[in-house]
Amino acid sequence: MKSRIHFKKFPQIQADRRWGFQSVVALNLRGIFCGLLLAASHLHAEEQTATYRLIGLSAPEREADLREVMKALPDVALVNLDAVKAEVTLRYELEKLFPTGKPKQPPTPDKITERLSSLIGQASKNTFTLTARSTVPADKLTKVEISIGVLDCKGCRYAAYQAVAKLDGVERATVSAAPSAVIAWIDAAKTKRDALEEALKKARVELLPKP
């Protein structure tokens, strides 16, 4: 008859068995935990790409200004600039945008937009900023063209642009030098031509009679 060892009679052996089992479990858990940390770190460091509405693109000449601004932001890459839609596509890493952020608590899209806008605003002396992309379909926008007096300096044209671009309902705008005019694409449910003209008058921009 085979003899059986009753570990209850040998408490030291029983304790060693428990300790060995617990050690194996602890090592396995540690390995899993380290793997999760590495995965989280890898995901956190991944590059992300997103498109935003660009405020400040008042004229084609401002495209060169934006590219110069982006050179001062090595952690944010300009992937694409759509001047027609006034949109930019940017590439970045969250860990560089938020160096003190926690991997388990990633920033919200609004926080990311706010951070990118702040960086671009600082680098451009607040002549460029970002917002979320427009949710109004392009075919639902109304084009408004307002003839204005000659603005022969870049700063003057930008001031005219700012006067209308900040209005709620103005999705994008440009200011042309020849012919001298403000062109805006608006959400007619939120604003009207009269509001744009009033804003230009307050900015001391001369309005010319409608052609």
The whole-number pLDDT of residue 43 equals: 43
Q: What is the pLDDT of residues 92-128, one digit of tens each?
A: 999 899 988 666 778 899 999 999 999 999 999 999 9
* β-strand partners of 175: 182
Dihedral over Cα of 51, 55, 56, 60: its sign: positive
The whole-number pLDDT of residue 28 equals: 59
Question: Of the given ranges (113-117, 127-131, 206-210), which has the lowest mean pLDDT?
Answer: 206-210
CA distances to 18, 43, 91, 153 from 112, rounded to whole Å, are 50, 16, 12, 34
* β-strand partners of 145: 183
The whole-number pLDDT of residue 16 equals: 52
- From CA 190, how far away is CA 188, in angstroms rounded? 5
Q: What is the pLDDT of residues 53-81, one digit of tens each?
A: 999 999 988 999 999 999 999 999 999 99
Residues 6 or more apart whose CB falls under 8 angstroms from that of 1 comprise none
The whole-number pLDDT of residue 65 equals: 95
Pick 144 or 21 by higher pLDDT: 144
